[in-house]
Amino acid sequence: MENQMFEILRYGIYGGSISLILIGLYAALTKRSLIKIVIGLSIVDGGIHLLLIAIGYVKNGTAPIFSPGFENAVDRMVDPVPQALVLTAIVIGFAVTAVALSLVIRLYRHHHTLEIDEIKNLKW
């Protein structure tokens, strides 16, 4: 029963994060509004973070923090390396989103529209 739950959890998290990545890429590739493209990129970000965290999971794991009561739980601790990497990645993703949005503001100021169809230089 417990194993079954773990399988479901694993499929849910891996499948969910991969589908988040795909949904974000779909939005970034097909949508016409610049804001929606930036939102798509953020969704890709979220999916990748979830996937990385899920890889580090250990069955019945605890957080890799040696707070009182958990000093001897080294065997059950989840992998701290992906978590540290994701902490970095979240900050970088935030910076990328901020710069992308500022570019969108700049484009809107220049062209008075957010649709990439109406901005001639941005078609593909």
> What is the chain's length?
124
Q: Which of 8, 11, 12, 117 binds another protein (CB under 8 A)?
A: 11
Q: Which of 8, 12, 32, 87 binds another protein (CB under 8 A)?
A: 87
CB-based contacts of 53, cutoff 8 Å, min separation 6: 82, 83, 86
68/10 Cα distance (integer angstroms):
29
19 vs 113 by CB, closer to another protein: 19
Q: What are phi and psi of 79, to 5 degrees?
A: -65, 120
69/40 Cα distance (integer angstroms):
42
Q: Is residue 35 a contact residue for another protein (CB under 8 A)? A: no
Task: Give the chain's radius of gyration (CA, Å).
Answer: 20
| Secondary structure class of 119 (helix, strand, coil) | coil
By CB under 8 A, the residues from 41 to 80 that bind another protein are 51, 55-59, 63-68, 71, 74, 77, 79-80
Minimum distance from residue 52 beta carbon to another protein (Å): 11
Q: Is residue 106 a contact residue for another protein (CB under 8 A)? A: yes
User: Residue numbers of the site for another protein (CB under 8 A)?
Assistant: 10-11, 14-15, 18-19, 21-22, 25-26, 29-30, 51, 55-59, 63-68, 71, 74, 77, 79-81, 83-84, 87-88, 90-92, 94-96, 98-99, 101-103, 105-106, 109
